[in-house]
Structure 1
Amino acid sequence: MYGFFRNFANLIWTKKSISTDGSAADEKWRITFYQIFISLGPLTFCMGVGGMMGFSGIFLPQLKEENKETNEPESDIPSWIASSAVLSMTIASVFGGFFMEKYGRKRAHVIPAIPGILGWLTIAFSNSIATILVGRVLTGISCGLFAPITSSYIGEITAPSIRPFVLGCITLALTIGTLLCHLVGTFYSWKMAALLCLLFPTIGGLLTLFSEETPNWLFRKNRADEACAAFERIRGKSDEAKRELEIILERHKNGVANPGKSLKDTARDVMSKPEIYKPLLVVVLYFMSAQFAGINVVTFYAIDVVKLSLGPNFQNSHLIMLAMDSVRAVTSIIACILLKNLKRRHLVIGGGLGCLICLLTLSASNFLSGTIKNPTISVYIPLISLLGYVFFISISLVPLPWCLAGELLPLEVKGLASSILCFTSFSAFFIAIKFSPFLFSFLGSGSTYLIFSVFTLFGTVLCMILLPETKNKTLNEIADTYRNK
């Protein structure tokens, strides 16, 4: 077992940093494993977000069979069940950034476990749509509270060599949560799926108790001795780690972190300093373009999307849903490796263009299937394009925004910047989930996929022009790329 984990650590650490000295290699393995271990709590919470996103995909079809009222065309019940969690998540995300600054990254991760546990218990034992909505709101609050924290926490505790890999695991955790929820909901019932999702905030909260507070937050609170001790536990005592710690100490002494600034002064910095508002604007726009590219519509309305894409008479919708989840899970693993080894710009261009081609093909096939009755055009081409869309969007538009949020947001305003980012992106998330059924119903799937393709193109071009390269750079080096010299 030791040999397995050591090889795993060596795989995700850059080759040039692995020493031929056995003791040095063991120390790097220990530090790598420790950084991954203290990330497990936040990543388990992310599985809960995946469960929340995937729950409506298996609950709504079962609800429609049990309750004819939701089958009426004018009924808003399905869209509210799907989007209510996102709406509460949007509102709660405003407070997540303040919690992480006031209580620290570690303790701010434990707080959301309470509404998460209560929410899934409410859903599992509910017997009405009203209580389902209450449970969905509570689970959304839980997800919103820790959403601004996770990428910041992982970005601050991991070394530049493995930071992209672990940040990429956020998407992998989301995907696994969705897949498990869909599996249990398909073969058992939505109540069993809710009980499964109950485990995520419970286990995540317990694992977070074993996490470390980030040195950056401790420095901002003028707890330098604790910060240095935490840095050595998390990052070790290698020459590279010592150099980075010296830079952090120098910046702390020079007051770069600005630990005593008020909220008003911090907000003024966000509006006026290019090293703050430029990276925040890039990440916000990329997040929003990803949401309007349909990134979560396929997850929330999985069965409906399959039927709209392949025709209402298609008989294997649940099988295709699980196939999409499997493609997403495998691709998320690939994305973790690619984030570790490839430049961000290459992933943006490759994944964005692949996603764009698949969306345009889906749009064209859906337009043509109304006039040309051919199984190749109406079933096989849309099926391949839909799976291809899931593949490419999981390579670029799903993992990259979270990775960039952990790397680009400036340390000195991370709480406020994370709240702004999550509020704006989750607002776009809510709009996409709430109104996508309307688009599919009144514009048709062909036009809807065409709209998705426009936002995919926008996000790809945006990052091609404005995204700096962050691979193998420390957070301070990334911040300096935007700072006026």
Structure 2
Amino acid sequence: MGQGLVLGYPTLLIAALDSPINSDLTSMSWLAASFGPSTMTGVILASFCMDWLGRKSAFLLLILPGTTGLLIMYFAQSYLPLLIGRVLSGITTGGTYTVGVVTIAECVHPKYRCMYLNLKTASFTLGTAILQGLGDYIHWRSAAIVILIPHVMSLVMASMWIESPAWFASKKRFDECEAAFFWIRGKSDSSKTELNEVMKAQNCPTKAKTKSIVGLLETITRKDFLKPLLISTIAAIVMEASVSTNILSNDRPWVAIALLIVYFFLANLGCNPIPLALLAEVFPLEHKMIGNIAIGAISSMIIMVSLKVTPYLLADIKTYGTFVIYGTITLIGLLILYFIMPETKDRTMQEIENYFGGGRSRNNNENEMENEANRKIIENQ
């Protein structure tokens, strides 16, 4: 929810910013647009921190910039502290969302994965809706404190997390992987089978190839990387186009609020939650880190451009013209996704991976790695 509150904060700032801080349209547009590159920075930092420190430690570390940034914005007396606070908040939003999505995908049972991902998206959009609804009734400084509350709650709750079994497996810490996995999922036969799959995936030799430049080039030119990236990029454009015009008019505010409620309901039927859920589903395990970095960078650039140009569109072609432009972009994107995006409902991650890559045969080395992983699981049990 805190991430959604942060995303919607520029709208309140642009509408309500007053003395002692004076800023022009250009300054305010950069205050909003700075969220894009800072979010990209957070996604990149999260991808590396998750690998080095684990999911829990990465989340705890990445939530600190946003907490600090909100305090800076609350006490700001000039434009520069606001910009610094906004950048710090963007780092936390991009970083914690990435960690959260990856953690859900790794820890939640496939049967409930979609539901949990959509709940996370729902809390994200709920945060934006709450801030939009309160925009006419609270001061922007008070809003910074409201946004700070879920950040502090998340910090406390994350300190009680158990580390992801997949991260333990990637570090060859199989005893801890087993303990964490069975604590989360129980000791059923299906859990033991899935744990076996986690071990095999983390022992895949192709994963190590991305550490070299040649291996990286091979990865980013493969079909099972490029097609998920294309789908995720178009989905990100659709999502941003469907939320970029969340502006309330001062004329007849209750009519605007009623229309905004209908708009949020329709947009959140699919334009918002599905693109965010795709981040955890479409990239194969061996491409997940590189894929997260790539789509994070692309999405952040899309957000930056959108937030930068929206104030000018509203000034030049008014609200109705801005809605026409973003509505057209959304419609075109949805039509493209209709033809290229597969159905992921009730499909395992391996089935989705096979769809994009067409499957691939195992060589002798991979079979030996699989047998070794199976032996380790049996020994640990």
Correspondence for 1:360: none
* Conserved? CA contact 2:242–2:267, under 8 Å: no
CA spacing shift, 1:58–1:272, aligned 2, 3 Å: closer
CA spacing shift, 1:263–1:198, aligned 2, 3 Å: farther
* Conserved? CA contact 1:117–1:198, under 8 Å: yes
* Conserved? CA contact 2:46–2:62, under 8 Å: no
Correspondence for 1:414: 288
CA spacing shift, 1:270–1:261, aligned 2, 3 Å: closer
* Conserved? CA contact 2:66–2:88, under 8 Å: yes
CA spacing shift, 1:442–1:320, aligned 2, 3 Å: closer
Correspondence for 1:470: 344
* Conserved? CA contact 1:184–1:192, under 8 Å: no
Task: Kindly provide the amino acid, as one letter, of the partner of residue 243 in structure 2.
Answer: I
Task: Give, in angstroms, the shift of residue 260 of structure 1.
Answer: 7.2
TM-score norm. by structure 1 comes to 0.68
Task: Kindly provide the amino acid, as one letter, of the partner of residue 431 in structure 1.
Answer: V
1:101 to 36, 47, 51: 51
Task: Give, in angstroms, the shift of residue 167 of structure 1.
Answer: 0.3
Q: How many residues align?
A: 359
* Conserved? CA contact 1:296–1:433, under 8 Å: yes
Task: Give, in angstroms, the shift of residue 156 of structure 1.
Answer: 1.2
Q: Deviations over 1:359-385 (max 9, x none)?
A: xxxxxxxxxxxxxxxxxxxxxxxx4xx
Task: Kindly provide the amino acid, as one letter, of the partner of residue 221 in structure 1.
Answer: K
Secondary structure of 1:87's match?
helix
Task: Kindly provide the amino acid, as one letter, of the partner of residue 481 in structure 1.
Answer: Y
Q: Deviations over 1:313-370 (max 9, x none)?
A: x2326x744x5xxxxxxxxxxxxxxxxxxxxxxxxxxxxxxxxxxxxxxxxxxxxxxx
Task: Give, in angstroms, the shift of residue 421 of structure 1.
Answer: 0.8
Task: Kindly provide the amino acid, as one letter, of the partner of residue 41 in structure 2.
Answer: I
CA spacing shift, 1:69–1:230, aligned 2, 3 Å: closer
* Conserved? CA contact 2:63–2:96, under 8 Å: no
Hey, what's the Cα distance between the residues in 1 that align with 2:137 and 2:315? 29
1:282 to 213, 216, 231: 231
1:450 equivalent to 2:324? Answer yes
Hey, what's the Cα distance between the residues in 1 that align with 2:310 and 2:226? 31
Task: Give, in angstroms, the shift of residue 457 of structure 1.
Answer: 2.0
* Conserved? CA contact 1:220–1:258, under 8 Å: no
* Conserved? CA contact 1:288–1:424, under 8 Å: no
Hey, what's the Cα distance between the residues in 2 that align with 1:155 and 1:409? 11
Hey, what's the Cα distance between the residues in 1 that align with 2:264 and 2:146? 24
Task: Give, in angstroms, the shift of residue 223 of structure 1.
Answer: 1.9
Hey, what's the Cα distance between the residues in 2 that align with 1:257 and 1:236? 30
Task: Kindly provide the amino acid, as one letter, of the partner of residue 213 in structure 2.
Answer: K
Hey, what's the Cα distance between the residues in 2 that align with 1:273 and 1:449? 37
Worse-matched range after superposition: 102-111 or 144-153:
144-153
Hey, what's the Cα distance between the residues in 1 that align with 2:140 and 2:21? 18
2:28 to 78, 93, 102: 78
CA spacing shift, 1:188–1:450, aligned 2, 3 Å: closer
What stretches of structure 1 of length at least 5 have no aligned partner? Answer: 1-46, 308-313, 324-382
Q: CA RMSD in A?
A: 2.5
Correspondence for 1:262: 211
CA spacing shift, 1:252–1:130, aligned 2, 3 Å: closer
1:60 to 2, 10, 14: 14
Task: Give, in angstroms, the shift of residue 179 of structure 1.
Answer: 3.8
1:234 equivalent to 2:184? Answer yes
Secondary structure of 2:34's match?
helix
What stretches of structure 2 of length at least 5 have no aligned partner? Answer: 360-381
Task: Kindly provide the amino acid, as one letter, of the partner of residue 328 in structure 2.
Answer: V
2:5 to 51, 60, 70: 51
Identity of aligned residues (%): 27
Task: Give, in angstroms, the shift of residue 425 of structure 1.
Answer: 0.7
Correspondence for 1:362: none
Hey, what's the Cα distance between the residues in 1 that align with 2:319 and 2:297? 28
* Conserved? CA contact 2:69–2:88, under 8 Å: yes
Correspondence for 1:434: 308
CA spacing shift, 1:68–1:130, aligned 2, 3 Å: closer
Task: Give, in angstroms, the shift of residue 252 of structure 1.
Answer: 4.4
CA spacing shift, 1:436–1:404, aligned 2, 3 Å: same
CA spacing shift, 1:281–1:217, aligned 2, 3 Å: farther
Task: Give, in angstroms, the shift of residue 154 of structure 1.
Answer: 1.0
* Conserved? CA contact 2:39–2:91, under 8 Å: yes
1:136 equivalent to 2:86? Answer yes
Hey, what's the Cα distance between the residues in 2 that align with 1:433 and 1:468? 30
Hey, what's the Cα distance between the residues in 2 that align with 1:476 and 1:232? 21
Task: Give, in angstroms, the shift of residue 212 of structure 1.
Answer: 2.3
Task: Kindly provide the amino acid, as one letter, of the partner of residue 288 in structure 1.
Answer: I
CA spacing shift, 1:63–1:261, aligned 2, 3 Å: closer
Task: Kindly provide the amino acid, as one letter, of the partner of residue 121 in structure 1.
Answer: L
Correspondence for 2:334: 460
Hey, what's the Cα distance between the residues in 1 that align with 2:332 and 2:326? 10
Correspondence for 1:161: 111
Task: Give, in angstroms, the shift of residue 447 of structure 1.
Answer: 3.4
* Conserved? CA contact 2:73–2:141, under 8 Å: yes
Correspondence for 1:316: 253
Hey, what's the Cα distance between the residues in 1 that align with 2:74 and 2:30? 18
Task: Give, in angstroms, the shift of residue 474 of structure 1.
Answer: 2.2
Hey, what's the Cα distance between the residues in 2 that align with 1:206 and 1:86? 27
Hey, what's the Cα distance between the residues in 2 that align with 1:457 and 1:181? 27
Task: Give, in angstroms, the shift of residue 67 of structure 1.
Answer: 6.8
* Conserved? CA contact 2:281–2:349, under 8 Å: yes
1:125 equivalent to 2:75? Answer yes
CA spacing shift, 1:230–1:68, aligned 2, 3 Å: closer
Task: Kindly provide the amino acid, as one letter, of the partner of residue 104 in structure 2.
Answer: I
Correspondence for 1:273: 222
* Conserved? CA contact 2:36–2:302, under 8 Å: no
